């Protein structure tokens, strides 16, 4: 078997992201592919022993199901170094040591965005390994302007095709399945337009509350944390035109084309958005304190824990269709789905009682399901319609989202990474809303933890 050989360097290797997501994701990849020779190196400003590093790696890879014949050689070769990634001299020496001819080096920045940017600044003037690939976690910048500046910095280091901006939603099997669902089924693609679809909801409601993330979340909020990145990418896949082929150029070109045409509903950031934060309550038996009483929260920030945003994709396919994106924390239902609401049937023969309910297509993200709701008239009164769901559970991907993401980075295929212009467009869309909220044009409402959101939202 021909193996793809890489050196995977994780900067910030002692952090939660590495042990909770990155290494288990790599474990699923090594379990299911068996075609990758990965030399793993960890680095952090926190000092741990080589034995402790290997124990962490072993436990996290095993949690992802990495088989022993893959785990043993990886553990034998892995090592850990203490490193200040913002120190140019130290970083340059480190990169020289890890570079191995014929084996591309991947730098995975499992670091806070500000530290990642300082590390990239430190890389200016350093002789970088040939073919170096950079992998960065979201958020990519903090505004349209800062995202553009970050992109300009990155492309002074390596070409765009060697930059992997990681958004794990693009590694979710259900999101990827949208492409197959749309373009592989004759029953859907002909009606995937404004002539047949009334509106689209993209919802990720979380039952989890803050969970100790105040340091990041209290400065981001639901709009930036979820809608600005994850949900706008889902929208782009839902609304994009058909690619000629599934590759990084075609798919990401069409995602960028779609996002360039996204506008706030009625061009009004105040009426197209809503925001709220949770008060004390209970979620599945867990008592949740009010958000403002959570450790590390500054009430003066007026951070929202639930956000809604309505937009329109101004193309011939979608003009007039409202796309509503919603995400929040400490919510009771925990719905995670894209819901396509079809228009009413244009005509019903006389004799039927009442109207036919509208069709809906519900694409569940967690769990991964598909459900088509159709109008039938078999039960009860034969001339009266009822809603009948036709559904199925979708087979889960053999790889976790981070396994899918890592496979693209290891093989050098940026299909599942966020291109620079896409990241900038996402900021362009939400910036007027952030400005309207800062100016107090949209009230910060409240909802009880464990509820479905503010009562007035319906």
Give the burial class of 417: count Cβ atoms within 10 A of its Cβ; 0-12 exposed, 13-18 middle, 19 or more buried.
buried
15 vs 27: CA distance, rounded Å = 17
Contact at 8 Å (CB) between 7 and 37? no
Backbone phi, then psi, for 2, in 5-degree steps?
A: -80, 130
- Give the CA count within 13 Å in the CB-facing half-sphere of 46: 11
Q: Tell me 382's DSSP state.
A: T
Q: Which of 144, 219, 230, 341 is catalytic?
A: 230
DSSP for 76-101, written as a single string: HH-EEEE--TT-HHHHHHHHHHH-BT
230 is annotated as an active-site residue? yes
Q: Which two tokens stand for residue 200?
A: 């689209």
44 vs 83: CA distance, rounded Å = 5
C-beta atoms surrounding 196 within 10 Å: 14
157 vs 56: CA distance, rounded Å = 31
Radius of gyration of the chain (CA): 24
Catalytic residue ranges? 230
């Amino acid at each position: 078997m021909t193996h793809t050989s890489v050196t995977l360097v994780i900067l910030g290797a002692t952090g939660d992201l590495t042990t909770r997501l990155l290494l288990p994701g790599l474990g699923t990849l090594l379990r299911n592919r068996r075609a990758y020779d990965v030399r793993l190196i960890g680095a952090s400003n926190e000092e741990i022993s080589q034995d402790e590093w290997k124990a962490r790696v072993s436990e996290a890879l095993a949690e992802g199901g990495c088989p022993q014949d893959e785990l043993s050689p990886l553990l034998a070769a892995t090592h850990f170094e203490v490193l200040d990634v913002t120190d140019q001299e130290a970083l340059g020496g480190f990169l020289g040591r890890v570079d191995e001819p014929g084996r591309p080096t991947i730098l995975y920045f499992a670091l806070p965005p500000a530290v990642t940017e300082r590390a990239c600044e430190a890389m200016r003037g350093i002789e970088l390994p040939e073919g170096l690939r950079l992998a960065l976690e979201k958020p990519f910048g903090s505004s349209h302007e800062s995202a553009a500046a970050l992109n300009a910095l990155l492309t002074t280091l390596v070409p765009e095709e060697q930059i992997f901006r990681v958004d794990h939603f693009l590694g979710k099997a259900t999101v990827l399945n949208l492409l197959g669902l749309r373009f592989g089924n004759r029953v859907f693609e002909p009606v995937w337009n404004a002539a047949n679809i009334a509106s689209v909801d993209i919802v990720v409601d979380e039952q989890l509350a803050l969970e100790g993330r105040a340091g990041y979340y209290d400065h981001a909020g639901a709009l930036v944390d979820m809608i600005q990145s994850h949900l706008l990418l889902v929208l782009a896949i839902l609304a994009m035109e058909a690619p000629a082929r599934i590759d990084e150029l075609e798919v990401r070109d069409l995602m960028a084309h779609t996002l360039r045409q996204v506008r706030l509903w009625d061009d009004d950031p105040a009426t197209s958005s809503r925001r709220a934060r949770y008060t004390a309550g209970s979620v599945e038996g867990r008592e949740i304190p009010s958000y403002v009483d959570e450790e590390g929260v500054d009430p003066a920030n007026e951070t929202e824990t639930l956000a809604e945003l309505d937009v329109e994709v101004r193309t011939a396919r979608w003009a007039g269709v409202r796309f509503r994106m919603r995400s929040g924390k400490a919510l009771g239902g925990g719905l995670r789905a894209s819901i396509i609401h079809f228009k009413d049937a244009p005509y019903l023969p006389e004799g039927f009682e009442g109207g036919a309910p509208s069709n809906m297509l519900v694409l569940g993200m967690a769990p991964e399901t598909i459900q088509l709701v159709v109008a039938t008239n078999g039960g009860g009164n034969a001339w009266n319609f009822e809603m009948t769901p036709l559904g199925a559970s979708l087979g889960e991907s053999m790889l976790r989202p981070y396994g899918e993401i890592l496979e693209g980075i290891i093989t050098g295929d940026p299909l599942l990474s966020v291109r620079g212009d896409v990241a900038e467009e996402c900021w362009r869309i939400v910036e007027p809303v952030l400005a309207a909220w800062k100016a107090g044009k949209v009230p910060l409402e409240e909802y009880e933890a464990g509820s479905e959101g503010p009562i007035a939202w319906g």
